Amino acid sequence: MNNQVIDLSSCTTEDGSLWIFGYGSLTWKVNFPYKSRMVGYIKGYARRFWQGSTDHRGIPGQPGRVATLIRDMKEITWGVAYQVGPDDIPKVIGYLNFREKCGYTTDCVKFYSADNTKNLPSVLIYIATEDNEEFLGPATLQEEARHIVSSCGPSGQNSEYLLRLAEAMRKMGITDRYLFDLEQKICELMAQ
Among residues 14, 75, 100, 188, which one is catalytic? 100
Question: In terms of DSSP H, where are the helices of 47-157?
Answer: 89-99, 141-149
Cα–Cα distance for residue pair 176/167, rounded to 1 Å: 11
**Residue 23 burial by Cβ neighbours in a 10 Å radius (0-12, 13-18, 19+):** buried
**Residue 45 burial by Cβ neighbours in a 10 Å radius (0-12, 13-18, 19+):** buried
Q: Is 100 one of the annotated active-site residues of the chain?
A: yes
Cα–Cα distance for residue pair 89/27, rounded to 1 Å: 19
Question: In terms of DSSP H, where are the helices of 32-191?
Answer: 89-99, 141-149, 158-171, 177-191
Cα–Cα distance for residue pair 3/161, rounded to 1 Å: 23
CB 30 within 8 A of CB 22: yes
Cα–Cα distance for residue pair 69/30, rounded to 1 Å: 19
Q: How many separate helices (H) and strands (E) can be counted in the chain?
A: 4, 8
Catalytic residues: 100
